[in-house]
Amino acid sequence: MDHSPIIAVRNLSKQYRSYKKQPGFAGALKGLIHRESELTDAAKNVSFTVEEGELVGFLGPNGAGKTTTLKMLAGLLYPTSGEAKVLGYTPWERADGYRRQFALLLGQKNQLWWDLPARESLELNSKIYGIEPRKFERIVSDMTELLAVKDKLNVMVRELSLGERMKMELIAALLHEPKVLFLDEPTIGLDVISQKTVREFLKRHNTQHKTTILLTSHYMADIQELCERVIIIDRGTISFDGKLSDVIDRFADFKLVTIQCSPNTQSETADLTRFGEVIERGPGGIKLRVKRDRVIAVCKDLLDQLPVTDIDIQEVPIEDIIRQIFVR
């Protein structure tokens, strides 16, 4: 029995050539004779595999190469070098058999017809993919109910709110029940309730259909709720590939300790730097960043030396951890 991964990427690279122009009319004339150019690596020797049914977070700052990689895996871009197999196909060969088994959803791009009701765009997609009418009705009914947009099917796409439109875009992407789903910022710009609805829908769909999903997002709530594994890419190169919990263990070597003290004490002016880094200080309490292996000892010392009325220990928010990784 074949246990090859659903997505296999090896040394995938994409370079863009950009031309420089000197300022002014003289610069324009000079450019006609000799143009200076430079190569930029949008993706550089990217390698990873994704197994069937995995939901993997693909993280990185703007310009890191996330969208470029997804577009290569969707066959929209040809790589400069390297190779990739998705469902056994080379994506940029654009075989019909492959295109019928994957979907790409770009959070900032429209695939629905702007001046048509959402239902008509979905019906057009169903004809393209040869979906039987009864099956189409069942899928649309189920998905619109789960995403709470059943009453919006006959509304012009341009009249839908951003959240409603994104939910319809998601339905359009999943209409043909793809085995692989590439999601690029699916919750960008959505309100908190819509984000939560989309996340719950994706989690349920992944569990029920074993759809393999590669997800990019700047919202760490998306990653925390959906992904056990993350791939971190920066400047076109993968810097981490593993469990989300390992990211926290590896890069969050400290915790946040907040103490409240009795009023009218000297705690607000006391020197606490020996316990850890003081990051907040005020009437509401004192917050310290303390090395993970010193937390218990520091808490004991604080309780012994200060009139502490309350103490709270928290993990560092994951968005702060990811931000630190990018800075490094």
Residue 231: predicted pLDDT: 92
Q: Whole-number mean pLDDT of the chain?
A: 86
Question: What mean pLDDT comes out for the span 170-188?
Answer: 91
Residue 56: predicted pLDDT: 94
User: What is the CATH superfamily name and number for domain 7-249?
Assistant: P-loop containing nucleotide triphosphate hydrolases (3.40.50.300)
Domain ranges within the chain, ordered by starting residue: 7-249, 252-327
Question: 223-236: per-residue pLDDT in tens?
Answer: 888 998 999 888 88
Domains 7-249 and 252-327 in one fold = no
Question: 243-291: per-residue pLDDT in tens?
Answer: 988 887 777 778 889 888 887 666 566 778 888 888 888 776 888 888 8
Residue 25: predicted pLDDT: 66
2.30.29, 3.30.60, 3.30.70, 3.30.1380: CATH of 252-327? 3.30.70
The more confident residue out of 136 and 262 is: 136
- Residue 84 near residue 9 (C-beta atoms within 8 A): yes
Query: What SS3 state is found at 34?
Result: coil
252, with CB counted inside 10 A (0-12, 13-18, 19+), is middle
Nearest-angstrom CA–CA distance, 107 and 228: 22
- Residue 105 near residue 182 (C-beta atoms within 8 A): yes
Nearest-angstrom CA–CA distance, 13 and 46: 7
Question: What mean pLDDT comes out for the span 57-86?
Answer: 90
- Of 71, 54, 4, the closest CA to residue 242 belongs to 54
- Of 262, 255, 263, 303, the closest CA to residue 279 belongs to 255
Residue 43: predicted pLDDT: 86
Q: What number of other Cβ atoms are within 10 A of residue 228's Cβ?
A: 13
Least confident of 80-89, 139-148, 304-313: 304-313
Residue 264: predicted pLDDT: 66
Residue 38: predicted pLDDT: 78
Question: 91-130: per-residue pLDDT in tens?
Answer: 999 999 999 999 999 877 778 888 899 999 999 999 989 9
DSSP β-bridge partners for residue 12? 46
Least confident of 169-183, 192-206, 219-233, 280-294: 280-294
What are the strands, taking DSSP E only, across 87-126?
102-106
Q: What is the dihedral of CA 223, 226, 229, 234, to 10 degrees?
A: -30
Most confident of 77-91, 179-193, 238-252, 291-305: 77-91
pTM flag (> 0.85): no
Residue 211: predicted pLDDT: 94
- Residue 7 near residue 101 (C-beta atoms within 8 A): no
